[in-house]
Amino acid sequence: MQNYDVIVLGAGINGCGIAEKLAQSGKRVLLLDKEGVGQGTSSKSSRLIHGGLRYLETGQIHLVYEALHDRQRLITKYPDLVEPRRFILPIYKSSPRPAWMIRIGLWMYDLLSGSRKVGHSKTEDISEFKSDFPAFIEDGLNSVLSYVDAKTHDRELTRRVADDFQKLGGTVIVHCEIQSIKSNDEHFELYSSTGDFFAPILVNATGPWLNEVNEKFDFPARFQIRKVSGIHLIFDGLIVPELMFMQTKEKRIFFIIPEPENDQTLIGTTEREEDCEMDDLHAQESDIQYLLDQVNAYLKPDHQFQRKDVRDIYIGVRPLVRRKGDVTDVSREYKLDLHTKGNTKLLHIFGGKLTTYLSLAERVADVLKIKN
């Protein structure tokens, strides 16, 4: 049986970030995943590093502030993987939020960015928008606004963090199916398909699989994960020259994301609460049609998409935090749930976003009282 100071379950962005942070403290850390690094939700996002402009509307100011702080840190740490990009927001007469309301939100976004600003929001010239985005309808166009966030490749970013962790002496084992976990007052004993391991600290960073892991191993937990899926449609060609932040009539949002390196465009995302097990998850045709309808509402007839134009589809799950019995809590904030027994510590990571993994990892180190 191999001995470690900390074992982290789940090699998504949060698990990799936590493992790297704890390894920086000189701890012997083992990172386990039943598939591969960044194979789950961390490779099925919108591939954006952003503060979460829409979260201002629901008063999640702290989350936006933290995300903007981490956005700048990631741009500095991984300049080849995290690139500042401009987002375009066309406002129509039919838009549920008028231009003045969006301007206030962008002003707050700039204000919260402080010295971490990667660019200023501003009002764009409508005639230039019509020229640069010829596929979009012009009737009812009232205003065009813009702001700056960042774009990344989520799986490559996750793998880079895992590589940095291994350079610190950390160990990553993938395709590792854990068969049983035992514990006493001194350590956890993990028995798996690739070996047996023990450590006094176990961190459960399995994201949307967390409920299933807790049930399988009968772990105590104060929260649950609400699994909210989101799909992205992939189209060949560059539909738009820049990233776009779009509103639906129901006040939801979606992104149109050009990827010139692939000569493709992503459109997403949706929100559907899932009650199936994660390994049984698949995209629903109604969600595919929903996205097609939403984007077509903005396109001229000869530029609209049909189902046959969809080149590929991927689906990810947001692990949103919910207290047991509370079906209305959909906060994007994460929760750290610590359980101690003797000299052992079990820490569950509920929630978490791609953008904020650095801050989350620092909070984990604080909660576990592991200092550099």
pLDDT of residue 371: 83
Is residue 17 within 8 Å of residue 70, measured between CB atoms? no
Terminal alpha carbon distance of the chain: 27
Provide the pairing of β-strand 344-350 with 201-204.
Answer: parallel
pTM (predicted TM-score): 0.94
**DSSP for residue 138:** -
Query: Of all helices (H) and strands (E), which one includes residue 266?
Result: strand 264-268
| Ramachandran class of 119: left when φ > 0, alpha when ψ lies in -120 to 50, beta otherwise | left
**What are the helix (H) ranges across 136-220?**
154-167, 210-217
Instruction: Write out the two tokens for 267.
Output: 């459109």
Domains of the chain with CATH codes: 2-42+155-222+328-367 (3.50.50.60), 85-150+226-323 (3.30.9.10)
Residue 161 to residue 46: CA distance in whole angstroms: 19
Residue 155 to residue 99: CA distance in whole angstroms: 35
- The SS3 call for residue 34 is coil
pLDDT of residue 224: 92
Query: Of all helices (H) and strands (E), which one includes residue 67?
Result: helix 61-77
- pLDDT tens for the chain, 372 residues long, are 799 999 999 999 999 999 999 999 999 999 999 999 999 989 999 999 999 999 999 899 999 999 999 999 999 999 999 999 999 999 999 999 999 999 999 999 999 998 766 889 999 999 999 999 999 999 999 999 999 999 999 999 999 999 999 999 999 999 999 999 999 999 999 999 999 999 999 999 999 999 999 999 999 999 999 999 999 999 999 999 999 999 999 999 999 999 999 999 999 999 999 999 998 999 999 999 999 999 999 999 999 999 999 999 999 999 998 755 443 345 568 999 999 999 999 999 999 999 999 999 999 999 999 987
Query: Of all helices (H) and strands (E), which one includes residue 196?
Result: strand 195-199
User: Residue 132: is it exposed, middle or buried by C-beta count within 10 angstroms (0-12/13-18/19+)?
Assistant: middle
pLDDT of residue 329: 40
Half-sphere exposure of residue 206, counting CA atoms within 13 Å on the CB side?
23
If you write DSSP's letter for every residue of 298-347 in order, what string do you get? TB-GGG---GGG--EEEEEEEEEEEETT-SS------EEEEEEETTEEEE
